[in-house]
Structure 1
């Protein structure tokens, strides 16, 4: 969402105006960029545990917790890279300046620490950005007795064990989520994801990329599955994070079949989004709770409790865009949202996968042909199967692992076509190596952790924190 004082106050006059807002994100291919966002759980190091801080459990906002890490990160290099973001006097994020321009650090509801990376030219730059981020937070967090582990679902904590960050938006969602699904609070507090944001050249290019990416998102969920534990034990899922999303708030989540319509475009997306219930609006720096209200009715001038006397603006719609939680989200770019957070190599592999599939014409054509081999409803059904079965889920006479192998092969060809080389003459295909190994039969992250649990860990899930730490 926009930060206080940054909203566009232009009044909304029509659906066409909102469709044009999205269309304004279209860019020529030479201006396409890669933005990677990744989250991770904080945990208290055993040597820093005390009566109020249990080992391996999430740190508080303050003291000696998330707020201190944000503050120290801001002060690092005399504030040359970050400017603070406050919510009602509480430090809740950092906006990049200078060399970090275009990036931000933010907090998910239970203090999951997120880097929203800057729009970068190639995956080599993405790798450097990710490494710099971990190098920056590691000494700061360790000094406070905190580590970080990127996992899809918290492996040991109960809901009541998780803290709440002092962000006004999250207070609204915390109240509203249980009304529209049984697992919304788990989504907020106990999940972490990694996503990549990619550009489009036109409305038609957006729609084509959206269809391909949405159809194949369940395959990505299976490939990147990294959450097989629930409150200290396996619970039968490869991606418990993905399972949580099956009953979070289905009016705004999942794989809406209307997105696959041949006539789908910006106007159709706006029409769909106007019927997604609202969460909040921002006025005079305050976030107002209007959860459940209709944006469409507000635009029509119909009476909506909590919105009396307020005129909907472009800024309101831009904030509303952030409350759509589909597996691929449309803004002035496309967000791939189907994967669990994982190791740095796997997080880079996620960006490589989608860049390879969507940023090369020949690869996109091949991916489009691949997904059209089956009906759209079958991909939506696959979404329900992969949280439990992962790559072993049945698909077209084989398994999802077979589909994943074809998908990765196309992505590799797309990355070769991009011909983006690092100083050592290596192209971007090297970032697909972990996925190529999995497609060939190596374990996914979830399968690896389950083997460790039953073997070396002897049933002690807390061992995952040290081994997954970044």
Structure 2
């Protein structure tokens, strides 16, 4: 989740709804300026006993952040506590229970993206060796109850932790027990954004299936392949889901702004602290009628903060975020941006992907989204068959798109090789969670703690 690194008291006031819409248009970039921003989270654990370290214990999360400063990262504090880092490779931040996130810098190509991931993982592993800390690449804690997990000292999380049980049964699990990989991508125009948004939503269930990696809860199989994805089904219906309106005629910046105006607020950030506005209306804020800040109108910073509090399968800010994948190992951190860049950053590939899914109804898309957390590639496909029946075709479209980009490394390799982990999943017919379940039921002898050997970085 977003970490506030700068408080801009000079941000322009929002006087009209038109300014909210114009904010999305400011994200438009010519194709040669499109970039790739990759985010990934991982669980932090003590190598001695696998407990999740608190922020303040001697070899805990604070110590890990301080240790990383020697690699050139600059600390970010909130309330006198170090809660993030910034540097040339983007930012390092904390999820609510100490999940460790790299929000990478916007980069030109996937070779740079994977190198950035490698630098970060080498740094955290070196720091972890000093502190007795390990890092686990899964979509959900395999063995931890909520009450066994620490809470990080971040103001927005305190507000969210209070609010989540009011609006769903699994919001606390989302906050405390899950990890994801995401990729942020650009658009050139409103029309380009719309097509990418639609393809992203329609094919997000395929990404969820290919990256499904959360089959355990509290030490036992949970009956799902991506329990992380299932958790979103009852987190908060006001700010999650497949967004049917994206597929309606006339969808664009204005309609997304209206959606966000109807998403209840969480907070307002003022003078270094988070003010609880959970459940209040941004429309009231626009009118100067927000009960916790009477007479005050929002700034553009407030709107951008609010945009970060919706969690649909694809999210629009001044770029598009693809949000459907479970956390996983280094190779799949590189594979997710390869999947989406291949599909969305070449016009021929984008058109081919849209042709593949444009005939699906909203009911079809919702049914596929609902089936994938449990069935992954065996989820029923609109019109018959299973999701696995189009997986290879989609990967081939993505590969064609990557080849057309012609971004090569020093050895002359293009970006298509980053799809290899996904090709292997399709070839084998087993998503990562199924591989883990086979081992749990076989060589592990039902001992889920073996996953720490299998899935650590």
- 1:66 to 2:52 alignment: no
Q: Map of 1:245-260 to 2, 5 A cutoff? A: 245-260=232-247
List alignment gaps of at least 5 residues for structure 2.
none
Identify if the C-alpha distance between structure 1 residues 272 and 278 changes in structure 2 by more than 3 Å, giving closer, same or farther.
Answer: same
- Structure 1 distance, partners of 2:294, 2:387, is 50
Deviation readout 1:179-236 (Å, 9 max, x if unpaired): 0000000000000000000000001100110000011101111110000001000011
Aligned 8 A contact 1:8 1:314 in 2: no
- Structure 2 distance, partners of 1:436, 1:7, is 48
Deviation readout 1:230-267 (Å, 9 max, x if unpaired): 10000110000001010001100111101111211111
**1:352 pairs with 304, 315, 338, which one?**
338
2:193 paired residue number: 206
Moved over 2 A (4+): 1-9
1:318 paired residue number: 304
- 1:40 to 2:62 alignment: no
Q: Map of 1:438-449 to 2, 5 A cutoff? A: 438-449=425-436
Q: Map of 1:106-145 to 2, 5 A cutoff? A: 106-145=93-132
List alignment gaps of at least 5 residues for structure 1.
47-54
Deviation readout 1:158-195 (Å, 9 max, x if unpaired): 01011100000000000000000000000000000000
- Structure 1 distance, partners of 2:398, 2:6, is 39
Aligned 8 A contact 1:255 1:327 in 2: yes
Shift, 1:5, TM fit: 2.2
Q: Map of 1:390-405 to 2, 5 A cutoff? A: 390-395=376-381, 396-405=383-392
Aligned 8 A contact 2:407 2:414 in 1: yes
TM-score normalised over the length of structure 1: 0.95
Moved more, 419-428 or 111-120: 419-428
2:284 paired residue number: 297
- 1:381 to 2:367 alignment: yes
- Structure 2 distance, partners of 1:331, 1:352, is 21
SS of structure 2 residue aligned to 1:291: coil
SS of structure 1 residue aligned to 2:229: helix
- 1:241 to 2:235 alignment: no
Deviation readout 1:391-446 (Å, 9 max, x if unpaired): 11111321111122221111011011111111111111100011112222342110
Aligned 8 A contact 1:438 1:444 in 2: yes
SS of structure 2 residue aligned to 1:463: helix
1:82 paired residue number: 73
- Structure 2 distance, partners of 1:406, 1:391, is 13
1:50 paired residue number: none
TM-score normalised over the length of structure 2: 0.97
Q: Map of 1:205-284 to 2, 5 A cutoff? A: 205-284=192-271
Shift, 1:7, TM fit: 5.5
**1:146 pairs with 130, 133, 143, which one?**
133
Aligned 8 A contact 1:402 1:439 in 2: no
Aligned 8 A contact 2:288 2:295 in 1: no
SS of structure 1 residue aligned to 2:448: coil
2:358 paired residue number: 372
| Aligned alpha-carbon RMSD (Å) | 1.1
- Structure 2 distance, partners of 1:82, 1:377, is 47
- Structure 2 distance, partners of 1:315, 1:122, is 29
Matched positions, count? 453
Shift, 1:376, TM fit: 2.8
